[in-house]
């Protein structure tokens, strides 16, 4: 990585993170099986109640891996404009999803997994958020720790 622009301050980085969460349609989600096999896939999402709401087939490794610990790593942006989120995911059945959440997902992404038994929702609660672009932004990349924004 090379230094291209001045490092952003923490307030700007947080705003850029919030912009990504509001505007982006997709993210990368990494999970791990209980015995240490990684999985990495792109999924669409919607920001819902300060969580990320995704959907995937219940038999996909991403959904299976959520049990038992629910640990996930999510990135938005590209490799030189990284938003990295450490979070906990839970599987939510469509029938258990609040109507507003299901509606928000359907409106944002143009399709509705509710009523499709092969699909489940994943709700990811962020615990840590980091944001950086180039090497000059590695310092100060931590924006949320233990679920609390530092800025």
Chain centroid to CA 65: how far? 15
Give me the residues that bind a second copy (CB under 8 A), please. Answer: 1-2, 25-28, 30-42, 44, 65, 69, 71-75, 78-80, 82, 84, 110
DSSP 137: G
DSSP 8: P
Contacts of 113 (CB under 8 A, 6+ apart): 55, 94, 105, 119, 120, 121
* Closer Cβ to a second copy, 37 or 99, answer by number: 37
Least separation in angstroms between CB 2 and a second copy: 7
Least separation in angstroms between CB 119 and a second copy: 14
* Angstrom distance (rounded) from CA 105 to CA 111: 8
* Closer Cβ to a second copy, 66 or 97, answer by number: 66
* Closer Cβ to a second copy, 62 or 101, answer by number: 62
* Closer Cβ to a second copy, 79 or 148, answer by number: 79
C-alpha distances in Å from residue 105, one per residue of 21, 25, 38, 114, 145: 14, 11, 27, 10, 27
* Closer Cβ to a second copy, 100 or 138, answer by number: 138
Q: Which of 71, 87, 85 is nearest to 141 (CA)?
A: 85
């Amino acid at each position: 990585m090379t230094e291209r622009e001045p490092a952003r301050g923490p307030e700007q980085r947080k705003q850029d993170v919030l912009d990504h969460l509001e505007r982006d349609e997709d993210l990368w989600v990494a999970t791990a099986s209980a015995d240490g096999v990684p999985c990495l896939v792109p999924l669409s999402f919607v920001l819902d109640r300060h969580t990320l709401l995704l959907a995937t087939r219940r038999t996909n490794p991403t959904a299976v891996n959520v049990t038992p610990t629910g640990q996930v790593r999510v990135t938005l942006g590209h490799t030189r404009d990284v938003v990295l989120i450490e979070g906990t995911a839970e599987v939510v059945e469509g029938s258990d999803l609040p109507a507003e959440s299901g509606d928000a997902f359907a409106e944002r992404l143009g399709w509705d997994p509710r009523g499709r038994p092969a699909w489940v929702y994943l709700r990811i609660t962020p615990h840590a958020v980091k944001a950086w672009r180039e090497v000059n932004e590695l310092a100060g990349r931590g924006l949320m720790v233990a679920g609390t924004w530092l800025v």
